[in-house]
Structure 1
Amino acid sequence: MEKTSHLSVMGGGLVGCLLSLYLSKQGYKVDVYERRPDLRRHDIGGGRSINLALSDRGWRALETIGISEEIKKVAIPLYRRVMHDKNGNLSFQPYGQEGQAIYSVSRGGLNEVLLDLAEAQPSISLHFQQQVLEVEVNSNKVTLLDTNTQQEHQIQPDVIFAADGAFSMVRLSLQKTERFNYEQSYLDYGYKELTIPPAADGGWQLEKNALHIWPRGQYMMIALPNMDGSFTCTMFFPYAGNPSFESLQTAEDLERFFGEVFPDAAALMPDLAQEFFENPIGTLVTIKCFPWSHAGKILLVGDAAHAIVPFYGQGMNAGFEDCTVLRNLLEQHQDDWETIFKTFQDVRKPNTDAIADLAVYNFIEMRDKVADPRFLLQKKVEAKITAQYPDSWLPLYSMVTFSPDLPYAEALANGQRQEKIMNALMAHIETEEDYDKPEVQQYLQAHLT
């Protein structure tokens, strides 16, 4: 049944498109306003996208709306991490149980599929090059700039969903209201995208079904595979100091540094210098704010409400999970937007705060700990505990990535409890065989049964 409310979604990115599809399925007419040109017809990448890791929370959102099979056509399963040391030696760490994987997807490729699906719905209208200038929160009047004609115009929807990203203009208008809390924090690191091209035969030059990591203590590089045989590499690096983006000023400096620190990757990157000096440096920001809604007429979702750094691979998944939660609330409360929005923000806020903190923590793990033999031993011990006590123990990464019914906040609390147990346990363990020591088994039995 078609609803009469006039809904507008600000932002035609991943979350905005998926949300518009959810709202359309509920019988609403939806207008989507996107600041950028239509990425299906214009190249707007600019060397700053970060490939995305789609995991179970995201898949559930896509399956619920019946589009997961379409998305699988542009996704590559990754079953493990592959760590590269300075000598090119490899070590491996599975992501979960046998057969569990995260999926590498191109942000642009996934966005194109979602735009195509949205455009195919008669109840969804897409409007590109429409920049939000201001929202009058009391009247819901939105002033937009058509960046093609440079003409301003206004709309006045009944309900505004702000999916316009970490630097949301809708949120900026809400920040001017009373008692709106806002916090942003940047890492002292930026990121730069680089490329490992396909092999001569069109295949992949590194293991295809893995996330590759070059951990180097205070910085790192990762690589995710693309459908065309290439890898998108993302270098996370300090802005200042030595080494840093600031210290690498010439092609000679860059090639010397990569030859020493990432030699096996450098050998596969023929356009390294050109990409390094032409591609922009992206920022890494965490944003927390509250409330996410105003008067049952405006709601922040995705990065506009809770931007996080990419090191747990959960930014998109958390945004997609927003859509899943909203869909359930829409079915329960129909057009009672005030109840829907208040319940949504109360349910989601503790969980998005938790994944924001976990994402910063995982940066430290990825850049440093994954190269530490003690850390790798601990992960093997954890796998043994999971096998022995499957009902009592699941690694934190699996709780976050492969347990979509477990809220992020509960995963964080469980992980903190388990970390205390592991710290005590590892004092008795020097090798995998030590797991069978009587004192280790007694300790586990006392704490997990």
Structure 2
Amino acid sequence: MAADGERVAIVGAGLAGCLLAVLLGRRGIPVTVYERRPDPRIAGAERGRSINLAISARGLAALEQVGLRDQSLKQALPMHGRMVHPLPGAQNFQPYSADGERAINSISRAELNRSLLDTAEATPGVTLRFSQRVTGVDTEAGAILLEDAGAEPAGVVLAGDGAYSAVRRSMELDEDADFLEHGYKELTVPPRDGEFALDPDALHIWPRGTAMMIALPNLDRSFTCTLFWPKGDFGALDTPAKVTAHFERHYPDVAGLMPDLADDYELNPIGSLVTVRCRPWTRYGPGAKVALLGDAAHAIVPFFGQGANCAFEDCIEIDRCLAETGGDWGRALTLYQERRKANTDVIAEMALDNFVEMRDRVSSPVYRAKQAAAHALERRLAGRYVSRYELVSFSTMPYAEIPARIRRQNRALAGAVLGSAAVLGLGVRALLRRRR
């Protein structure tokens, strides 16, 4: 499977890079993983850069492949629905599934990365190299380019180096980076008297029209909160007093639960939200074959909780394509791109749409009534009518097939309703004739 002795390099020791290293190592393929950061298990995570993960069916299926599903679930907290905090009004719980039993799982990105790093390090044939910044790839010479260290040979380069991928830039692909006008900033709700200050069985949302805040529970009984605001709004709160007053006015039910609010707001950075679309994901030269995966190929905004789940599916697909092609990297990577590109385009659009839903629609009584009606249909027509959310989060149906599935079932439902109305109309006319 080492394909003519080609040296395999993975760029990025994040979630996707580590998972792929384990999958390849278990196939007997020697892999070197290059990571620009120091080892995060030693140096720790960057302040204010976590954005807790919501791992669901796709991510769990991938983790199952490397024996980490159960361990990951032990590090996670299930969230069975959204707890919406409108202004004004009482909070309300909106279950994710029709039966109320299914949940997405809140897990620390740093903890999951540590588990994957440990597993990769223990996999024969996998070498991890930290503080090694890859600046590009030379497909002619068959080498990766390292900052301050020249070049190192690599016949296959798999780039999982994130939304601002240096490898992607060096490939000069047709790409589009679409930045939201919104940025994000993280805050913390610590435990209160040793317990959760909010309901830990929910993803909390404070929808505020053009902005919102969310909160996900952690095992230490804290919550990681993330503000999603127009970037210009962050600078307006330039004193602790303004920060406190703003949160007391706009987030009154949680402001008093954040003793470090002013410090977190001042010290934590503002992150950007970007959707990356590019084509192709692969480039072959006489010396090297290169492919992008995860955010390097298709960064999406985090509002459907599918970024990590989607990247994990990339890794599983690469592994599957290698098996199907007998280790032919050229054929395998071409097949991988053909199978995944349409799927990632679709989830990118759904994630953008879900942002509008979370910051605006969820507080609407009309939205809540529609969700209740959809769940009633799912219970009555089990397996025949399934909501978009359930297909995305609680199945492994390819993302690209979901819109067509939704259209088909909606047409069938509309046809059934019209048919029932026609039958009812015939019955009414027959009754009127008898009465005459």
Residue 314 of structure 2 corresponds to residue 322 of structure 1: yes
Structure-2 separation of matches of 1:272 and 1:445 = 61
Structure-2 separation of matches of 1:90 and 1:122 = 51
Which residue of 1 is the match for residue 433 of structure 2? none
Structure-2 separation of matches of 1:43 and 1:227 = 17
Equivalent residues of 1:5, 1:28 under 8 A apart = no
Structure-2 separation of matches of 1:445 and 1:8 = 65
Structure-2 separation of matches of 1:65 and 1:47 = 29
Residue 363 of structure 2 corresponds to residue 366 of structure 1: no
Residue 238 of structure 2 corresponds to residue 238 of structure 1: no
Letter of the aligned partner of 1:193 in structure 2? Answer: E
Structure-2 separation of matches of 1:329 and 1:137 = 22
Deviations 1:188-224 (A, max 9, x none): 10000000011222x2111112101111111100000
Residue 279 of structure 2 corresponds to residue 278 of structure 1: no
Structure-2 change in CA distance of 1:419 and 1:311 (3 Å):
farther
Structure 1 gap segments, 5+ residues each: 146-150, 426-437
The alpha carbon displacement at 1:138 in A equals 1.9
Letter of the aligned partner of 1:105 in structure 2? Answer: I
Residue 160 of structure 2 corresponds to residue 163 of structure 1: yes
Letter of the aligned partner of 2:21 in structure 1? Answer: S
Equivalent residues of 1:286, 1:309 under 8 A apart = yes
The alpha carbon displacement at 1:441 in A equals 8.7
Residue 119 of structure 2 corresponds to residue 117 of structure 1: yes
The alpha carbon displacement at 1:393 in A equals 1.1
Structure-2 separation of matches of 1:182 and 1:315 = 19
The alpha carbon displacement at 1:308 in A equals 0.2
Which residue of 1 is the match for residue 94 of structure 2? 93
Equivalent residues of 2:48, 2:269 under 8 A apart = yes
The alpha carbon displacement at 1:99 in A equals 2.1
Structure-2 change in CA distance of 1:441 and 1:40 (3 Å):
farther
Equivalent residues of 1:192, 1:236 under 8 A apart = yes
Letter of the aligned partner of 1:158 in structure 2? Answer: G
Structure-2 separation of matches of 1:276 and 1:374 = 34
Deviations 1:16-68 (A, max 9, x none): 00000010011111100000010000134121220010000000001122221
Equivalent residues of 2:175, 2:278 under 8 A apart = yes
Deviations 1:408-441 (A, max 9, x none): 011133345667899x89xxxxxxxxxxxx9689
Structure-2 change in CA distance of 1:307 and 1:444 (3 Å):
farther
Which residue of 2 is the match for residue 172 of structure 1? 169
Tell me the SS of whatever aligns to 1:287: strand
Tell me the SS of whatever aligns to 1:41: helix
Between stretches 348-357 and 61-70, larger displacement belongs to: 61-70
Q: What's the TM-score once normalised by structure 2's chain length?
A: 0.91
The alpha carbon displacement at 1:73 in A equals 2.2
Deviations 1:83-114 (A, max 9, x none): 11235721111111332110001111110111
Residue 344 of structure 2 corresponds to residue 352 of structure 1: yes
Structure-2 change in CA distance of 1:366 and 1:421 (3 Å):
farther
Which residue of 2 is the match for residue 188 of structure 1? 181
Which residue of 2 is the match for residue 37 of structure 1? 38
Which residue of 2 is the match for residue 144 of structure 1? 146
The alpha carbon displacement at 1:445 in A equals 11
Structure 2 gap segments, 5+ residues each: 425-436
Which residue of 1 is the match for residue 18 of structure 2? 17
Equivalent residues of 1:185, 1:287 under 8 A apart = yes
Structure-2 separation of matches of 1:106 and 1:191 = 17
Structure-2 change in CA distance of 1:345 and 1:127 (3 Å):
same
Which residue of 1 is the match for residue 85 of structure 2? 84
Which residue of 1 is the match for residue 283 of structure 2? 294
Q: What's the TM-score once normalised by structure 1's chain length?
A: 0.89
Letter of the aligned partner of 1:163 in structure 2? Answer: G
Structure-2 separation of matches of 1:204 and 1:15 = 31
Which residue of 2 is the match for residue 414 of structure 1? 405
Structure-2 separation of matches of 1:190 and 1:441 = 49
The alpha carbon displacement at 1:139 in A equals 2.0
Structure-2 separation of matches of 1:27 and 1:415 = 41
Equivalent residues of 2:168, 2:296 under 8 A apart = yes
Structure-2 separation of matches of 1:393 and 1:314 = 22
Structure-1 separation of matches of 2:363 and 2:243 = 23
The alpha carbon displacement at 1:334 in A equals 2.2
Which residue of 1 is the match for residue 428 of structure 2? none
- Identical aligned pairs, as a percentage? 43
Structure-2 change in CA distance of 1:349 and 1:156 (3 Å):
same
Structure-2 change in CA distance of 1:352 and 1:264 (3 Å):
same
Letter of the aligned partner of 1:330 in structure 2? Answer: L
Structure-2 separation of matches of 1:222 and 1:86 = 14
Match for 1:341 among 316, 324, 333? 333
The 5-angstrom pairing of residues 369-384 of structure 1 reads 369-384=361-376
Q: How many residues align?
A: 419
Tell me the SS of whatever aligns to 2:236: coil
The alpha carbon displacement at 1:443 in A equals 6.5
What's the C-alpha RMSD, in Å, of the aligned pairs?
2.2
Between stretches 40-49 and 27-36, larger displacement belongs to: 40-49
Structure-1 separation of matches of 2:14 and 2:405 = 33
Deviations 1:352-382 (A, max 9, x none): 0000000000000000100000000000000
Equivalent residues of 2:77, 2:201 under 8 A apart = yes
